[in-house]
A and B are shown apart, each in its own frame.
Chain A
């Protein structure tokens, strides 16, 4: 495959002003990933600061209740800052520091990537500004304050749909004006090359660990790996080291919102068409004439009208399968895992849990499923209460 391409997807569809910076980023990335000192420093941060390796937890009650395949949870929710986002961010912010940058910017939907970036920036003494859609700043007000507490400046993005895609637009607009001192720490396996590759590589630690952990606990690889997909970073991380193992089914769960037959969903791989946006050729939700469509999900982290290019490729080649999960199914799974295992999942991750609940009963008891539990759900408690009509302010 040619550089930065996943089949026909990927590429570098971005302003000329940013091109040299992207080429430089790729060169520096390749340089440092081959530098044992950098790798050692990053691994130490992942271990001592983020708390890796993350646990592979056997969900016994859930398994027994569903009565089929054994279910394991890859506990990315136990990482420092409460989600898988820290894996990528430590890598990218450390890289930015080595490149001599003094400032990092990030987009955020649910706020998890913004919090992770603000955290790494505090740790590594970098200036940090985060772009977040105004709608999302209201849905995730706690995370806004959290980022500010960590010393970051949060920009409330008022353009367009005021959600994740608009935050990405404004982050690129900021970067184009300040390429000299700033790195854009992108939060998912998306954007122009080399970002989809960099983010995937930094997230691939999830499947690298999981492979070893499965061999240790089960003496074999899982039969299915399930992860939620917005831009697709936790899914790419959870899938990556299993791609060559063709007996391992890879399943991505998209935000089906209020249903894929309604306009209120964010299921790009189910409803989208091929297009070119945010620097990449991939699959996007779009209307007539190629205008990017407003999307919807109960989950701010999956509320994105596209998907990373490598996922589009994995779908086309049949290596991975992508299924939509509705808000209602995700909320039920959110409540189910909380009651069944005492683990409150992020509403994003609950999309993966929901699919496991459908799949496990159809599988044999000697088969295994890994759910990538990409984040913790504390941030979602208020919005789920609202969804259920519970007023927490009374």
Chain B
């Protein structure tokens, strides 16, 4: 059974993303724990990939940094193992599908089950291709998190009715990255989804300021932040724990204001 529901028990969830191995494997373990301490309810761990097509420059660069010292899928599992010695915070992988396919679906999800990974988000696995991993993931207690975009429209019905864990609502068109303004009519999308499912709805893409978190927090069940966290890690390198804690705790507070 996935621990994802726990993330949504404490007000609006704050969901933080970082890329595994950026800047190092040890630091990723430390930063996940630091984020949890500061109030992060669920951590998305990015498995680095050579060609992160859905990412903006900030997360692209993090992938480059992690791959420069050859962070492998097994290293990422090792990070999870070490984190799990300290906490049972819900953890999901954010990964392009090829590293999972290459590792072998059976072997990958068995490992996820052993280590207590609760979900997987794959930006290149839309509803039509979810069958690649759906059964094997679920049988290992891993939710396949569905994404819904501003362009999804009539697809919302089938995506949402098939979803488990939570739904990742993409705030705007484009790749990941910090945006000064989110213009999408999120209210309309969220209410369309709520007609289909009672799953928690978390909004991501572009959110970086407490003001945005507060706005999204009023209408969604969770606020997802990636690039802004990665940017802090980029800026502070091996000394990012302090600034990360400060940022996450501000954002968690703002999400619930």
Chain A contact residues, CB within 8 Å of chain B: 11-21, 159-160, 165-166, 169, 172-173, 176-180, 273-279, 284, 286, 288-292
Flag whether B151 is at the interface (Cβ < 8 A).
Answer: yes
**7 closest A-B pairs (Cβ-Cβ)?**
A290-B102, A177-B174, A17-B149, A290-B99, A291-B50, A290-B98, A16-B147
How far, in whole Å, are A249 and B149 apart by their CA atoms in the complex? 46
Flag whether B72 is at the interface (Cβ < 8 A).
Answer: yes
Q: Which of B30-38, B120-128, B191-199, B233-241 makes up part of the contact surface? A: B120-128
B173:A19 contact, CB within 8 angstroms: no
Which residues of chain B have C-beta atoms less than 8 A from A284's C-beta? 98
Interface size of B in residues (CB-CB distance below 8 Å): 41
Flag whether B203 is at the interface (Cβ < 8 A).
Answer: no
How far, in whole Å, are A298 and B154 apart by their CA atoms in the complex? 47
Name the contact of A275 in the complex, choosing from B73, B102, B150 (C-beta under 8 A).
B102
B103:A288 contact, CB within 8 angstroms: no
How far, in whole Å, are A291 and B149 apart by their CA atoms in the complex? 27
With A13-B125, A177-B174, A276-B124 as known contacts, state yes or no: A165 contacts B51, CB within 8 Å.
Answer: yes
How far, in whole Å, are A15 and B122 apart by their CA atoms in the complex? 9
A15:B54 contact, CB within 8 angstroms: yes
Instruction: Find the residue from A16, A178, A279 having the highest chain B CB count within 10 A.
Output: A16
B98:A292 contact, CB within 8 angstroms: yes
**Interface of chain A, helix or strand or loop or mixed?**
mixed
Ordered by A's residue number, 16 sampled pairs between the chains whose C-beta atoms are within 8 Å are A11-B128, A12-B128, A17-B174, A19-B152, A19-B155, A160-B50, A166-B51, A172-B53, A173-B175, A177-B173, A179-B151, A289-B102, A290-B98, A290-B103, A291-B50, A292-B51
B72:A15 contact, CB within 8 angstroms: no
With A176-B173, A177-B173, A289-B72 as known contacts, state yes or no: A14 contacts B126, CB within 8 Å.
Answer: yes
Name the contact of B99 in the complex, choosing from A166, A279, A289 (C-beta under 8 A).
A289
B:119-152 near A, CB below 8 Å: 123-129, 132, 146-152
Which residues of chain A have C-beta atoms less than 8 A from B124's C-beta? 13-15, 276, 279
How far, in whole Å, are A172 and B53 apart by their CA atoms in the complex? 7
A20:B151 contact, CB within 8 angstroms: yes
Besides the contacts A179-B151, A277-B51, what 17 more A-B pairs have beta carbons closer than 8 Å? A15-B124, A15-B126, A16-B127, A16-B151, A16-B159, A19-B127, A19-B151, A165-B51, A173-B54, A176-B174, A176-B175, A177-B174, A284-B98, A290-B100, A290-B103, A292-B50, A292-B98
Which residues of chain B have C-beta atoms less than 8 A from A286's C-beta? 98, 102
Question: Shortest CB–CB separation between residue B111 and chain A, in angstroms?
Answer: 13
B51:A12 contact, CB within 8 angstroms: no
Question: Shortest CB–CB separation between residue A379 and chain B, in angstroms?
Answer: 26
Which residues of chain A have C-beta atoms less than 8 A from B152's C-beta? 16, 19-20
Which residues of chain B have C-beta atoms less than 8 A from A275's C-beta? 98, 101-102
